[in-house]
Amino acid sequence: MSLFLHGYRYSVYVRIVRLVLAEKGAAYERVEVNPFAADVPAEYLRLHPFGRVPALVHDGFALYETGAITRYVDRAFPGPALQPEDPKRLARMDQIMGVVDAYAYWPLVRQVFVHDVVRPHMGTAGDAAELEKGLAASAKVLDALETLAAADSWLTGPDISLADFHLGAMVAYFAQSPRGTQLLTAQPRLSTWWQRFKARPSVVATDPGLPVTQA
C-alpha cells in the first residue's frame, strides 16, 4: 500500500488530515507543498488543479478537498469510526464542519492568529484593524458553535468525530492569541472541549510549531 499526503506543514487543513490519519493509525509519507509559493510544481497542479492543500494519493487514487479526504480516510482505513451512525449526529457533524469552513477559518486563523501571533513572531507588526475585525467575527462564530456543541465529551456526542478535528486544528492556532483565548474561555462547552481535545496524543504528535511564512 502507498499513501502520500501532499501539503504545507503549517496549513490547518493539512493538519486536519494528519490528525485523522493519526487517529486511524495509518502510516503515510508527507510531501511538502507550499501553496503560497510563486511556482507551485506542475505535477502538484495535476493532483489539485486549484493549487491548494491538501491532496491525498492512496494506491494511485488521488483526492483533494479536506472534507472528502477525511471522510475517505475514515471509511478506507481500520481504526475507530470517526463519523456517527446516528443520522442527527452525522448531520450535526457535517453542519459544524461547514460552519468552520465558511465562518471560522478566516477570522480565527487568517485574521487573529496571523495578526496577533505570526506577524509578531516574525518581527513585523500585525494589522490592528484586521485583528479587531477578526476578533469580532470570531466571537460570533464561537457563539454559534457553542450552541451547536453537544453537552457531551465531544462536539457531536460521546464519541469523537471529524467535526472535532476540523475545528480543533483551527482552535490550536487561535488559542495561541491571548485575546483569542479570552473569547474561547467565555464559551463553557467549547472551553472544556478544547482542554480535552488538546491533550490527545494525535494533537500533540501533529503540532507543526509556529509558521515561518504565511499561515
Q: What is the 3-state secondary structure (H, E, C) of 69-114?
A: HHHHHHHHCCCCCCCCCCHHHHHHHHHHHHHHHHHHHHHHHHHHHH
Q: What is the pLDDT of residue 214?
A: 46
Same domain, 98 and 120: yes
Which residue in the block uniquely carries the three cell numbers 458553535? 145
Q: How far apart are CA 14 and CA 36, in angstroms?
A: 14
Same domain, 107 and 189: yes
**Alpha helix (H) residue ranges in 12-86:** 12-24, 42-47, 66-76
Q: How far apart are CA 84 and CA 93, in angstroms?
A: 8
Same domain, 113 and 166: yes
Q: Which of 41, 191, 190, 173 is nearest to 112 (CA)?
A: 173
Same domain, 104 and 196: yes
Same domain, 163 and 137: yes
Inside any domain, residue 142: yes
As for how many domains the chain has, the answer is 2
Q: Are strands 55-58 and 61-64 parallel, antiparallel or unpaired?
A: antiparallel
Range of the domain at 166: 87-200
Which amino acid, 188?
P
Inside any domain, residue 106: yes
Same domain, 29 and 96: no
Cα atoms found within 13 Å of the Cα of residue 185, Cβ hemisphere only: 8
Q: What is the pLDDT of residue 29?
A: 98
- Spell out the per-residue pLDDT of the chain, length 215, in tens: 899 999 999 999 999 999 999 999 999 999 999 999 889 999 999 999 999 999 999 999 999 999 999 999 999 999 999 999 999 999 999 999 999 999 999 999 999 999 999 999 989 999 999 999 999 999 999 999 999 999 999 999 999 999 999 999 999 999 999 999 999 999 999 999 999 999 999 999 999 999 765 44
For residue 157, what is the DSSP state?
Answer: B
* Residue 119 DSSP SS3: helix
Same domain, 35 and 125: no
Give the end of a domain, one of 57, 76, 95. 76
Q: How far apart are CA 63 and CA 195, in angstroms?
A: 32
Q: Which secondary-structure segment (H or E) carries 29?
A: strand 29-32
Same domain, 123 and 99: yes
Same domain, 181 and 151: yes
Inside any domain, residue 107: yes
Is the distance from CB of 121 to CB of 210 less than 8 angstroms?
yes
Q: How far apart are CA 65 and CA 111, in angstroms?
A: 22
Q: Which three cell numbers stand for residue 16?
A: 486536519
Same domain, 115 and 70: no
Q: What is the CATH number of the domain that holds 41?
A: 3.40.30.10
Q: How far apart are CA 51 and CA 42, in angstroms?
A: 9
Give the end of a domain, one of 40, 56, 76. 76
